[in-house]
Structure 1
Amino acid sequence: MQPTDPSDRAPLLELIERGALSPEQIPAALELTGLYPDRLRWRHFIEQLLLWLGALALVFSLLFFIAYNWDNLGRFAKFAMVEVFVAASVAGYCKWQRHPVLGKLSLCMASIGLGILLALFGQTYQTGADPWQLFFNWALLILPWTLLARFPSLWIVWLVLLNLSAILYFKTFRNTFSFLFHSDLALIWILFFFNAIALACWEVLAKTLAWLRTAWATRIIAVAAGVAATCLAFYGIFERDANVIIHFAAWLVYVAALLGYYRYQRPDLFMLAGACLSVIAVVIALMTDNLFSTLDDGSGLLLIALTIIGLSTAAAMWLRKVHKELDL
C-alpha cells in the first residue's frame, strides 16, 4: 500500500472541517480522491508485509534451530548451515538484484546471517573477544553490502550496530577518555556527535540520492541524537561539577538546528514535535532542580504540573498552526 502525500489530504480535510461534506459523503470522497486504499493497494501492502515477515522468519528460525540443537549438532554442521544460508542470500541478490525488493531483502538476510556466523564463531571457539568487537566487526563486514544495496533499512541496521559497539565499548573500557570526561558523559558525547553527524550527512545526501528520502529513517536517527542531546542538558542541570555552558550549548545548537531545518527547509511535524518535547523536558528538569532545593511542601509539584500542562498546550497549538500553514 503506497503512502499518500500528506499535501493531497489537505483540501479534503479543509472541506470536511468547513462542513461542505456530509458524513455520508466522506467515504465516497475518499475513494474518488484516491486517499482510501483500494484492493490493489491493499494487496501490494499485504504482499510486501508477508515477504518481509517471511524473510525474518527464515533468519530467526536458523538462529533458534542452532540454539535449540546446540548439543546435538557438530561444529561443522552449525557452520555449514549458517554459511550456506549466507551464500544462498548472496546468490538471491545476484539473481534478483534488479527487483525493487527481493534483491535488497536478500542482502538484509545475508547481513543478519553474517552476524549469526560471527556469534557462532565466538561461542564455539571462545576467542575471549569483548562483546563490542562482535558488533563492530559485524558493522565493518556488512559495510560493502550496505553500500551496494542502497537500502535505508540496511543503513539503519549499520548505524544501530555502531551505536551498540560504542555503548558496549564504554562498558568494557570505562576510563578510556577519563582525562577529558567522566566515562558515562564521554559515551553520551560520542553518541550525540555520531548520530548528529549521521543525520546531517543523511539529509545532505538525500538531496541527490532519491532512495534516501525516507522519513522514518531520518526520524530514527534524529531521535537517537535528540535523546543524547537531552541527556547532555540533564547532566549539566543535575551534576554540580559539570560545565553547564558546554552541555547547554550542545543541546541548544541541536534543538535550534532541528527547529530551523524542519520548519523552513524540509517541514516535518514529527521532528518539530520531538524538539518541543526535548525543550519541555529540559525546562521541567530545570524547575525540578531549583524548586525542590527551595520548597519543602507540595507547591513545587503543583507548579511543575501546571508548567507541563501549559508548555504541552502551547506546543500543540504551535504544531497545529504549522500544520495548517504548510498543509502537512
Structure 2
Amino acid sequence: MDRLENANQLFSWAEQQKLNSLQLQQASEHVPLQPAIDDWLAHANRVLLFGSVLLLSSAVIFFFAYNWPLMHYFSKLSLAAAAVVVSGTVAIFCPVHSQWQRAALLGCSLFTGALLALIGQTYQTGADVWQLFASWAVLITPLVLLSKSRGSYLLWFCLLELALWLYVETNQMFWLLERAEPLLQMALANLLLHLFCLFALPKMLPSNTKPLLWLSAVALLIPLTFGAMVGVWDNQYQANLVCYLFIAAALAFWYFRMQRDLFIFALLLFSAIGLATAALARLLETDDFFFIANLLAVFVIGSSASAAVWLKKLMQEPNHAA
C-alpha cells in the first residue's frame, strides 16, 4: 500500500498547488498514480476484514438484546467482558500496526460499549444516555491512539458527537431553540475537533486523514450555519452570527489560500449562500410574499449556479488537474 500512499501524497501536493501538472506527470514516471491489481486485492481484504469485525460485534450485541430475559445478569456481564478480553488479547499478539491488530482493537472498542450498556442496564445506574457515549469515548481513547486506524477514529468521532448532541438536548432542550447557547457550544466544540483533525491527526495516522477532516468540517458547519441563520432573525442569536462571520472567514482563507481543499471551501461557499438568503429574506420581510418567494428562488438558483461554475473552474486549473 506504500505506492498508493505515495500517489495520494502527490495528489495532495498538487491540490495544495505545491506541484503543477507537468511536475505531477514527471513524478508519475517513478510513482504509479493508478492502483494495480494487487492494490485492489489488498484493499478488498481490508474491507472484508473490518466488515467481518463490525458484523461479529453486531452479532454479539444482538445476541444479548434477543436473549436478555433468558440470561442471568452474571452470564451477560461475563460474556461481554470475555469478548473485550479476547479481542484485546488478539490485538496484543498481532504484529504491531498490522491490519489484524487494528481490526482487533476496533472490535475491542465496540465490545467495550456493549459492556458499558450492559452494566448500565443491569444495575440501573440512572445515568443519562449522553454519559454512556461519553464514557465509552473516554475508555476507548487509548485503544484508538494505539490502533492508528481511521475506522477506530471514526467510531471515536461519532461517539463524541453523539455525547455532545445528547448532552445539549438533555440539559438545554436543544430542539426547541429556546436559547442560543446550545448551538454556539456545539459549534465551538466541533471547531476544536476540526482543529484536532487539521493539525494533530495527520501526525497520528500514517494514512489519508482527509475523510475525517471533511467529516469534522460538516459537523462544524451544521450548527454554526444554522445558528447564524437564526441570528439574522433573532437578536438572541447575535453571538452565533458574529462567531460564524469570524470562523467562516478564517476557514475560507485557510482552505483557499494556505491549504487548498475545495470540498471544505465548497461547504463554506454554500453555507454563505444559505446565510445570505436568510439575510435577504429578513431584509424583505415586509414586502409581498409572492415577490419575496420568487426573488429568493432566483437568488438561490443564481448564486448556487455561480458558485458551482467557479468551483469547476478552480478544479480545472493546471494545479488541480489531478
TM-score over 0.5 (shorter chain): yes
- Structure 1 partner of 2:47: 49
Partners of 1:276 and 1:315 within 8 A in 2: yes
State the partner residue of 2:236: 242
| 1:198 equivalenced with 2:193 (yes/no) | yes
8 Å Cα contact 1:114-1:138 kept in structure 2 = yes
Q: Which residue of the partner structure matches residue 104 of structure 2?
A: 106
Question: Alpha-carbon deviations, 1:16-54, whole Å to 9, x = none?
Answer: xxxxxxxxxxxxxx9xx9555432222112111111110
Give the distance between the partners of 1:127 and 1:279, measured in 2 at CA. Answer: 45
Does 1:301 find its partner at 2:296?
Answer: no
Work out whether residues 263 and 272 of structure 1, in 8 Å CA contact, stay in contact via their aligned partners in 2: yes
Gapped regions of structure 1 (runs ≥ 5): 16-29, 177-181
**After TM superposition, where is structure 1 displaced by more than 6 Å over at least 4 residues in a row?**
none
Q: Which residue of 2 aligns with 1:21?
A: none
Residue 97 of structure 2 contacts residue 147 of structure 2 at CA under 8 Å; is this kept in 1? Answer: no
Aligned to 1:275: 268
Which is further off, 204-213 or 263-272?
204-213
Alpha-carbon distance change, 208 to 55 in structure 1, aligned in 2, over 3 angstroms: closer
CA distance in 1, matches of 2:69, 2:110: 23
Cα pair distance change 1:97/1:289, threshold 3 Å? farther
CA shift, 1:92, in A, is 1.4
Q: Which of 138, 142, 148 is equivalent to 1:144?
A: 142
**Residue in 1 that maps onto 2:128:** 130
Cα drift, residue 317 of structure 1: 2.2
User: How many matched pairs?
Assistant: 304
Letter in 2 for 1:129: A
**Residues 145, 254 of structure 1: CA spacing in aligned structure 2 closer, same or farther, 3 A cutoff?**
same
- C-alpha contact (below 8 Å) 2:194/2:213 kept by paired residues: yes
> 1:232·1:247 contact (CA, 8 Å) conserved in 2?
yes
Deviation at 1:167, TM superposition (A): 2.2
- Distance, in Å, in 2 between the alignment partners of 1:144 and 1:45 is 26
Partner of residue 285 from structure 1, selected from 278, 282, 306: 278
Please tell me whether residue 251 in structure 1 is matched to residue 251 in structure 2. Answer: no
1:187 to 175, 182, 186: 182
Contact preservation (8 Å) 2:228, 2:237: no
User: What TM-score, normalized to structure 2?
Assistant: 0.84
- Whether the aligned pair in 2 keeps the contact of 1:170 and 1:183 (CA below 8 Å) is no
Change (3 A) 1:52 1:238: same
**2: CA distance between counterparts of 1:321 and 1:286?**
28
* Superposition deviation, residue 233 in structure 1: 0.4
User: What 5-or-longer segments of structure 2 have no aligned partner?
Assistant: none
Matched, 1:228 2:223: yes
Q: 1:228 to 1:59 in 2, by over 3 A?
A: same
Moved more, 150-159 or 306-315: 150-159
2:62 paired with 1:69? no
Q: Match for 2:306: what amino acid?
A: A
Contact 1:167 1:187 in 2 (8 A): no
Contact conserved, 2:180 with 2:236, CA < 8 A, in 1? no
Amino acid paired to 1:291 = L
- Give 1:76 deviation, angstroms: 1.8
Higher RCO, 1 vs 2 (CA within 8 Å, ≥6 residues apart): 2
TM-score by length of 1: 0.83
How large is the RMSD of aligned CA atoms in angstroms?
A: 2.9
Hey, what does 1:318 align to over in structure 2?
Answer: 310
- Tell me the secondary structure at the aligned position of residue 180 of structure 2: helix
Give the superposition deviation at 1:196: 0.6
- The percentage of aligned residue pairs carrying the same residue is 28
* Whole-angstrom distance in 1 between the partners of 2:144 and 2:201: 16
Residue 64 of structure 1 and its aligned partner are, at CA, apart by 0.7
Match of 1:25 in 2: none
Q: Secondary structure at the match of 1:162?
A: helix
> Equivalent residue of 2:172, what SS?
coil
How many angstroms does 1:314 deviate by? 1.8
- Amino acid in the other structure paired with 1:264: R
Tell me the distance in 1 between the aligned counterparts of 2:101 and 2:215.
24
